[in-house]
Structure 1
Amino acid sequence: MAITTGTEAPELAGLPLLGSMFDLKNDSLGTFLRAQREHGDVVRITAGPPGMRAVVYGVFSAEGAQQVLAGESANFRKDNRFYRELRESFGNGLLTSQDDDYLRQRRLVQPLFTRRRVDSYASAVAAEVTTLLGEWQDGGAESVDVLQEMTRFAMRAVARILFGTDVDAAVEIVERSFPELGAYVLRRGFSPVNIPRDWPTPGNRKAAAVHQALYEVCDRIIAERRGSGAAPGDGQDLLTLLVEAESTEDDSFDATELREQVLVFLLAGHETTASSLGFALHLLALHPEAQKRAQEEVDRVLAGRTPGAADVDALPYVTQVLKEAMRLFPAAAAIGRRAVAATEIGGVTIPAGADVIVAPWVTHRHPDYWEDAERFDPDRFTPEAEAARPRYAWFPFGGGPRACIGQHFSMLESVIALAMILQRYGFEAVDTEVPVAAAITLQATGPARCRLKPRTAPA
């Protein structure tokens, strides 16, 4: 039933004819942040000329985010223009599918993400970290771009664990392609009008080439896995589950569906981990006292040995560092939905059919929940501090029934990796500021270089 008792949402000021179109195009995250600061927790943002104007409602409170993602999740669907563009570029995989398609896909991959199964991945994560550290040492690296290095590590780890193969040769293509295709999707998602994708414009041709390169990567991964000689039932990875998924209830994945699942898991399976690890290292490099405290915890708990799943709970400060990095730099900086029916959020009416954005980037900086919000402070995530805040004051993995299926995997991988890296190296920031922008996920638009300071963990 429609609820129409709320007030009309205040509108963010923009240009007389084009509204906030250029603001969203040039700095969507800054625009959302300004909207909250100037107008509150539910704000109407318009973009485009009259007659072709796009309207989006920014919802910035923790309570509003919980309502959209959890409490009334059935009323807020992935039906907006952004998700249509995302499906066109990345297919109808677990990230973009809905209804029966989504339930079927999630049921098929859920066995990979039980806590017991995820804990069994710890040794594979540690092996990839060992490889990375060996490369730094053997190459005599004095400084590294921590975001690039963590992207490379996370991509290799997800390929090894989820696909049962090595994608080193594909990392360069993926690193280049995801930001380019993400920017294309974002431009089209916020544009009031789009030309067809098959028109041979320079932008369309470039996006099509990137799209094809990514599909070729996926096809290569599938072919390598199928050619590995593993017998049915031998493998425990995602591809084995998908290839063998055949029943009267679920049917089987055809070649297109299989490729689309691989593409989505390449994106979603590494982005949050890479972002949280990379920014955690950079933030520790900028805050030597926090870095020293994290290293002291690692040294005390591990005494030089390789961590396993059982050690994660014994590393609370390392976990707090990662959570604070995800607060300041959430990989999913903005999350879109479309309202099916009219409803009310925070006393403001959201009309039926309205596009809605909840934005961790903004909520994670909301002055009602975070004092001096731009300051790096891992102690915000002690158990007592977390219990005192609303549930959705921090939601880097989304929430509700569409919460990230791999969030436990990402946290286990991140804690183990950060602990092992801090055993071997200290970090000193070369770049003190790392500019970022929103694409499909948060993207650094400049380097995050840190000097490496080799250290010896206690025996």
Structure 2
Amino acid sequence: MATAQAPRTGSGVGTEIPRLEGSPLLGSLADLKSDALGTYLRAQHRHGDVVRIAAGPPGLRTELHCVFSAEGAQQVLASQAANFRKDNALYQEVRNAFGNGLLTSQDEDYMRQRRLVQPLFTKRRVDGYADAVASETAATLAAWEEAADGVVDVADEMMTLALRAVSRILFGTDVDATADVVDRCFPVITAYVMRRGYSPVNVPRDWPTPGNKRAAAALDELYAICDAIIAERRSPRAGAGAGAGAATETGPEAGAAGAPGEDLLSLLAAATSADDGEFDATELREQVLIFLLAGHETTATSLAFTLHLLGRHPELQDRARAEIAAVLGDRAPGAADLDRLPYLTQVLKEAMRLYPAAPALGRRSVAAAEVDGYAIPAGADVIVAPWVIHRHPEYWPDPERFDPDRFTPEAEAARPRYAWLPFGGGPRACIGQHFSMLESVIALAMLLRAYEFEAVDTDISVTAGITLRTTSPARCRIRRVEG
């Protein structure tokens, strides 16, 4: 791997960062728009672990300071996290669309929200959502009985499964209406957010352009259904079921998703403390929208690529299925099985290495800093790229090979902490890590016990949106497991 030897900067803080060459007029803008992830990989291969990438015409040019090492990621996300904030253009567009929830809030707003929400994401509480995940996975299996020619697009199917699971956990019995609205509106909104977040110039959001009007209509529909359900949950009749202590764990029923007053929205509505108060209706909607955004697209990506990779490696699929059969037999999986399925968990982690749902994490520096030995100026746009770090040959020999044995306990202990970061890291690490792993392992166990998967499309194209998305079919032929 080439590592640039640059002169010291005049500030005396780190060495000057090498730059990926682009066109004189637009820099690397066209490359980033057509294949941002490939551009990041090329930058790392040519210049090393910290690289500048310029994009846009002179006068409107953005310069990205890209970090591709585990050490650099740890500095940006953890040890120097206070200096690297969510102040870039993309995060502002996400705020404009989805509100100032846990994903986008900062400073005291973030700390207050985290304190109110944290009791809802303890291990014990999250484990109570296992039955809801199993129920939605069973519905997917039932639908597959009618799969034409025995072929399904696992990207589409897992998006539906994950959306219905998180909607059931959030809204309880209101799952059908909310899932339909989210499925219809989210793609319009996320495409709009990405387009504006990466454009050097945007027209005001209230101008009556076709794009603005489509996004506004989708947001109005999404807000309306969330606000209606929130109002119902906060009615006196609903409040009697939840109670003021619903956000604390008070008994064995804690976390029983779908029980009266126990869906996540009811618990959010009831969350309160003497110091932090409670969420008002707008704040509730913002938290719900962020949970919908972060809670279904990320898990869907992990599930889809795990199934597709196993569909290309039948011997590893058989090994995972044998473990599932030995642990579960014919019974439904539960939260306790997460620790009893270590190989299936390794398979999932390796799929998340190759296809991290958050392939690039953006920040903006407050003050000049040094990251992995390089000088980052104040006000710089910084990209930490798990997509590249997860393929770094220093941590991952033969990085494109699918090998779940990379995640044995011994192998994990031998690597730097931030060599694998599908959930981010530091004080802003994803609050839903345990839920995502629980949901994924339960769903995979049920799907693999029932069906064999054979990849039909062997080369899947992806793009970096708010989350990683497929841009080509990800079809698998499915066959019922005999016996």
TM-score band, normalised by shorter chain: over 0.9
Aligned to 2:15: 7
Aligned to 1:232: 242
| Preserved CA contact (<8 Å) 2:84 2:363 | yes
Write the deviation string for residues 257-298 of structure 1: whole angstroms up to 9, x where unpaired.
121111111111112211111110111111111111111111
Letter of the structure 2 residue corresponding to residue 194 of structure 1: N
Measure how far apart 1:225 and its partner are: 4.5
Within the candidate set 320, 341, 344, 2:370 is matched to 344
Within the candidate set 332, 350, 357, 2:383 is matched to 357
Within the candidate set 454, 457, 460, 1:434 is matched to 460
Aligned to 2:34: 26
Letter of the structure 2 residue corresponding to residue 197 of structure 1: R
Letter of the structure 2 residue corresponding to residue 98 of structure 1: Q
1:17 has 2:3 as partner: no
Structure showing greater relative contact order (alpha-carbon pairs closer than 8 Å, 6 or more residues apart): 1
Within the candidate set 55, 61, 83, 1:47 is matched to 55
Measure how far apart 1:22 and its partner are: 1.5
Measure how far apart 1:453 and its partner are: 0.5
Measure how far apart 1:139 and its partner are: 6.0
Residue 265 to residue 189, structure 1, CA distance change in 2 (3 Å)? same
Partners in 1 of 2:457 and 2:229 — Cα distance?
A: 35
Letter of the structure 2 residue corresponding to residue 201 of structure 1: T
Aligned to 2:252: none
Write the deviation string for residues 389-411 of structure 1: whole angstroms up to 9, x where unpaired.
11111100000110000101110
Residue 169 to residue 450, structure 1, CA distance change in 2 (3 Å)? farther
| Preserved CA contact (<8 Å) 2:268 2:279 | yes
1:70 has 2:78 as partner: yes
- More moved, 255-264 vs 233-242: 233-242
- More moved, 175-184 vs 425-434: 175-184
Count of aligned pairs: 456
Matched position secondary structure for 1:453: strand
Measure how far apart 1:173 and its partner are: 3.6
Residue 428 to residue 320, structure 1, CA distance change in 2 (3 Å)? same
Letter of the structure 1 residue corresponding to residue 82 of structure 2: A
Matched position secondary structure for 1:451: strand
Matched position secondary structure for 1:293: helix
* RMSD of aligned alpha carbons: 2.0
Within the candidate set 378, 399, 414, 2:425 is matched to 399
Aligned to 1:330: 356
Taking structure 1 as the reference length, the TM-score comes to 0.94
| Preserved CA contact (<8 Å) 1:339 1:355 | yes
Partners in 1 of 2:335 and 2:274 — Cα distance?
A: 37
Letter of the structure 2 residue corresponding to residue 275 of structure 1: T
Residue 232 to residue 317, structure 1, CA distance change in 2 (3 Å)? closer
- More moved, 168-177 vs 374-383: 168-177
Residue 422 to residue 439, structure 1, CA distance change in 2 (3 Å)? same
Within the candidate set 82, 88, 101, 2:109 is matched to 101
1:409 has 2:435 as partner: yes
> What are the residue-to-residue correspondences of 1:101-250 with 2, within 5 Å?
101-137=109-145, 142-223=150-231, 225=233, 229=238, 231-233=241-243, 235-250=261-276
Residue 341 to residue 3, structure 1, CA distance change in 2 (3 Å)? farther
Measure how far apart 1:356 and its partner are: 0.4
Within the candidate set 383, 386, 411, 2:412 is matched to 386
Write the deviation string for residues 163-195 of structure 1: whole angstroms up to 9, x where unpaired.
323322343442343333223222222222222
| Preserved CA contact (<8 Å) 2:452 2:481 | yes
| Preserved CA contact (<8 Å) 2:302 2:348 | yes
Partners in 1 of 2:148 and 2:64 — Cα distance?
A: 50
Partners in 1 of 2:273 and 2:86 — Cα distance?
A: 28
Partners in 2 of 1:272 and 1:30 — Cα distance?
A: 20
Partners in 2 of 1:410 and 1:29 — Cα distance?
A: 24
Residue 270 to residue 348, structure 1, CA distance change in 2 (3 Å)? same
| Preserved CA contact (<8 Å) 2:206 2:212 | yes
Aligned-pair identity in percent equals: 68
- More moved, 348-357 vs 241-250: 241-250
- More moved, 146-155 vs 123-132: 123-132
Matched position secondary structure for 1:174: helix
Partners in 2 of 1:34 and 1:24 — Cα distance?
A: 11
Measure how far apart 1:238 and its partner are: 2.5
Aligned to 1:88: 96
Partners in 2 of 1:224 and 1:149 — Cα distance?
A: 30
Matched position secondary structure for 1:396: coil
| Preserved CA contact (<8 Å) 2:116 2:273 | no
| Preserved CA contact (<8 Å) 1:25 1:187 | no
- More moved, 302-311 vs 137-146: 137-146
Measure how far apart 1:95 and its partner are: 0.6
Aligned to 1:288: 314
Unaligned runs of 5+ in 1: none
Matched position secondary structure for 2:207: coil
- More moved, 237-246 vs 427-436: 237-246
Matched position secondary structure for 2:452: strand
Letter of the structure 2 residue corresponding to residue 84 of structure 1: Q
Measure how far apart 1:223 and its partner are: 4.8
Taking structure 2 as the reference length, the TM-score comes to 0.90
Partners in 2 of 1:221 and 1:29 — Cα distance?
A: 38
Partners in 2 of 1:149 and 1:439 — Cα distance?
A: 19
